[in-house]
Chains A and B, each alone.
Chain A
């Protein structure tokens, strides 16, 4: 009776067993999500943050280092009721924002620690550590904060900031809470400076209590401290430059011609780099960014000005190389160069040769010379001659990005022939149309950085190395490109003539105020026309004449003629760098006291 029902019952049991096995197969073999959940359950990955590399100046003086800083962490489920107001007072934050962070931590994970307050300033930290026993569930995590030794070179050194989500998405190495360099050396050498984060994997239980390290630390990695970087900066020169530029808008760039190493790079006004450290950043960054003088804007690298008369040296060299003039060519100057009813004025008379044309910065000479360059019969057409001229200008690193390791460079303005062909019509323009280029005005815009590099090229008699801000990275060379010679293709001999002119500028010409006793300084004044106000004062120089050690470009916005401010500043800088002490204290005092910011305000 009913004996066959054993089959039905067995069948039902078997089918249910098969359903179970199928279900096990789906969750154990097919579905990977459970494995991930299991990992996030038990693994507590503790990041070991390495100290960022240090930055030294060329003489081994420490510029940037790290200071211990602490983040406050909280594990919400371990936090009993506590005196919020008390803790907030210690931290120096508002109760509302603290509560908001704490709520965020609760929603993130009750059993896991979250950062509640970042980068606790030093003076608050020690007090907090004393009182921490009153706040169970809170702990301090050691991090490091950047510290800048000098109130100088802020735009060169840059700053670090917490990586934002967008950046993290593009760069998977970074995780929320990591810091990255966002400007200057901090940015360019981020990969070397940051080091390598370490990771310790702990196993935690359901209450997030550590049970030991995972597989005896087999998968742990140790943090690797960031590499130290030696900058090419001479911090004393930099400081001096910033001192001279106080209360002025402008830049100083100083390069060692033989290597392309940047000795000083001043963009004024600057700011104290320590303003952008830790929790202070939130307060100071908006202030800096809205400052009308734009202290975070690196004028030396990014501001384009017409080169003015400093450009005459370039045109002289191009003319010589193209053979349209020679070392003895002279042009008449009767107080200017006449172009129809228009006169490009000059401040002297008579007929000048090449050397004196530089010494006296004769406009007429270069107008004549430029018409010869552009009208050179070799090239048949003005636009081909122009293209050749432009190529030669570019060979000095002008009007192109130099490719330095400071990645905020702007390229400048140096239009191709197409621009003029479009503007005036093909064949409808000549040297006379663009005559202002001859004296560095018109459609030209170069950065102080580029002008300084051009000056270094002249100092080198025909070549330059890409200017760079880092000399050495610990256990490794800097990029190969900084060792490559960039030659202008202009004969060395021609440079000597131009340099003779530049020497006379400082000895008895427009740049006498740049003269340094006992040093043969070669320079050239310039005035960048400023449609918005008083002209900008420019001076480029190098010294000593033979075997130059420093090439410098000085820009003082609204400083008037090059001789007024730029030349004496260049002179003082050269003296400071070559002789270490400045003898002309009166000049120094006049420069330091000059306040051109008010004038600027009046102009507006």
Chain B
């Protein structure tokens, strides 16, 4: 039986602590590899990034100790205050901040540079948790939902003004928190589906995505107890429509269009049919999902069309920069290609520590920060990169399960915020290095070089660890 006042270090979650430490030091070793240079032989060379990162890591542990020593109630009490202060800081960085990579997102105090948008994450998470843990808060009430979205929108909007699209996108991860707190699963599915479609269109031709969705539609119907005949009719309709298009195309239009365009056309015709059918059969979920999908396709198509055919090159570049899709110095996809080459060349076991050539010789951009995963992939191979991913997913799922154990709604919601933000960061960062998501410049938590990022993730995580350590004391 633990006594009050006894050191929190006994009740601290050691799994998280070990994972955190492991990730931190694996990160440092990879930064060392990415910046390694024969002419600087001391790991304490503070002119090198790995030397500086050692300081940042040291400071992180000070932060950990400070948080663990603090009163766990402090964060709930101070949450709005911290949030308000952060809004002020985000506002002032727009005025007095300095620019880097085209975004005005840094404070420069002497030799130290701080990126407030990193710290805005935990502040927003605290405020969100405070709002949503309020006794009469119900996410199903539109007014409450909008309040929660407002909490996110304020810092997100300010960050967007810098502009730093990557950091803004992170807030979309809050959908998982809303879902956990009772938001209808339709929204989650819409978001998941939207992301799935978006990501898969980057990988596969639209035709494959459409065909895949049509098949999923069939499975969906089956799963919801529809008759198999209806599914077969739906699939038959796609085939028939495709065939009809083919005949028209072949004999009347002289093979003007590729065959896959025809399947897309057929699917587009069919989707409204599915919506109408679902509506008539009063299957509301299906109606919403498919309607949403049509809307999504419409947006993708029109955005694509406007972007490619109406905008000038200059405007396109502006948009790309604004979206955080990095400027491509050598033509389409050079950075992603180099990143994939680095990771792909690692093979099963990797080239060995410090043996990487692609990352070391600057073929990969930002190899110590946003593209640190390339070093992992190149030097540690498939085994190493899978290990890193599994470490992250273990940490995240551990946080989710601990969050669910919390007696206090504040701690629970905050835990979900932490898990979602971490997941989003890891997903975007790793995904961009292997070409699964567009190049959006956000760091890999605990791995990427940089004090702001490391400290903010440490604070984010250990506020939860602190609350978890005292979960028995909370109401």
- Complex Cα distance, B385 from A363, in Å, reads 95
Q: Are B389 and A17 in contact (CB under 8 A)?
A: yes
Q: Are B434 and A23 in contact (CB under 8 A)?
A: yes
Picked from A3, A10, A16, A21, the residue with its CB within 8 Å of the CB of B386 is A21
- Complex Cα distance, B392 from A204, in Å, reads 34
Contacts A20-B434, A42-B363, A206-B363 given; indicate if A34 touches B343 (C-beta within 8 A): yes
Does any Cβ of B come within 8 Å of A31's Cβ?
Answer: yes
- A contacts with B: majority SS: helix
Q: Are A24 and B363 in contact (CB under 8 A)?
A: no
CB distance from B442 to the nearest CB of A (A): 16
Picked from B347, B357, B401, the residue with its CB within 8 Å of the CB of A6 is B401
Q: Are A35 and B436 in contact (CB under 8 A)?
A: no
Q: Are B179 and A25 in contact (CB under 8 A)?
A: no
Q: Are B357 and A41 in contact (CB under 8 A)?
A: yes
Picked from B344, B403, B404, the residue with its CB within 8 Å of the CB of A38 is B344
Among the stretches B129-137, B423-431, B453-461, the one at the interface with A is: B423-431
- B contacts with A: majority SS: helix
Q: Are B400 and A28 in contact (CB under 8 A)?
A: no
Interface residues of B in 145-203 (CB under 8 A from A): 176, 179-182, 185, 192
- Complex Cα distance, B185 from A31, in Å, reads 38
Cβ of B434: which chain A residues have Cβ within 8 Å of it?
20, 23-24, 27
Q: Are A34 and B344 in contact (CB under 8 A)?
A: yes
B379-399 interface bits toward A, Cβ cutoff 8 Å, 1 = contact, 0 = none: 001100110011011001100
Cβ of B62: which chain A residues have Cβ within 8 Å of it?
none
- Complex Cα distance, B363 from A207, in Å, reads 9
Cβ of B346: which chain A residues have Cβ within 8 Å of it?
28
Q: Are B393 and A17 in contact (CB under 8 A)?
A: yes
A1-44 interface bits toward B, Cβ cutoff 8 Å, 1 = contact, 0 = none: 11101101110111011011101110111010111011101100
Does any Cβ of A come within 8 Å of B87's Cβ?
Answer: no
Q: Are A24 and B377 in contact (CB under 8 A)?
A: yes
Q: Are B180 and A20 in contact (CB under 8 A)?
A: no
Does any Cβ of B come within 8 Å of A475's Cβ?
Answer: no
Cβ of B117: which chain A residues have Cβ within 8 Å of it?
none
Chain A residues bordering chain B, tally (CB within 8 A) = 37
Does any Cβ of B come within 8 Å of A203's Cβ?
Answer: yes
Cβ of B345: which chain A residues have Cβ within 8 Å of it?
34-35, 37-39
B244-273 interface bits toward A, Cβ cutoff 8 Å, 1 = contact, 0 = none: 000000000000000000000000000000
Does any Cβ of A come within 8 Å of B341's Cβ?
Answer: yes
Does any Cβ of B come within 8 Å of A205's Cβ?
Answer: yes
Does any Cβ of B come within 8 Å of A602's Cβ?
Answer: no
Q: Are B404 and A6 in contact (CB under 8 A)?
A: yes
- Complex Cα distance, B179 from A8, in Å, reads 10
16 extra interface residue pairs, beta carbon distance < 8 Å, beyond A23-B436, A35-B344, A42-B363 = A2-B181, A6-B180, A9-B176, A17-B389, A24-B385, A24-B434, A27-B344, A28-B344, A28-B347, A28-B382, A28-B385, A33-B344, A41-B338, A41-B357, A42-B361, A206-B362
The chain A residues found within 8 Å of chain B, CB to CB, are: 1-3, 5-6, 8-10, 12-14, 16-17, 19-21, 23-25, 27-29, 31, 33-35, 37-39, 41-42, 203-207, 211
By Cβ-Cβ distance, the 8 closest A-B pairs, closest first, are: A34-B344, A38-B345, A205-B361, A27-B344, A28-B382, A42-B357, A206-B362, A17-B393
The chain B residues found within 8 Å of chain A, CB to CB, are: 176, 179-182, 185, 192, 338, 340-348, 357-358, 361-363, 377, 381-382, 385-386, 389-390, 392-393, 396-397, 400-401, 403-404, 416, 419, 423, 427, 430-431, 434-436
27 contacts across the A-B interface (CB closer than 8 A)? A2-B180, A2-B181, A3-B404, A5-B180, A8-B179, A8-B185, A9-B416, A12-B192, A14-B397, A17-B392, A20-B430, A20-B431, A20-B434, A21-B389, A23-B436, A24-B377, A24-B385, A24-B386, A27-B340, A27-B434, A28-B344, A34-B345, A39-B345, A41-B363, A42-B357, A42-B358, A42-B361
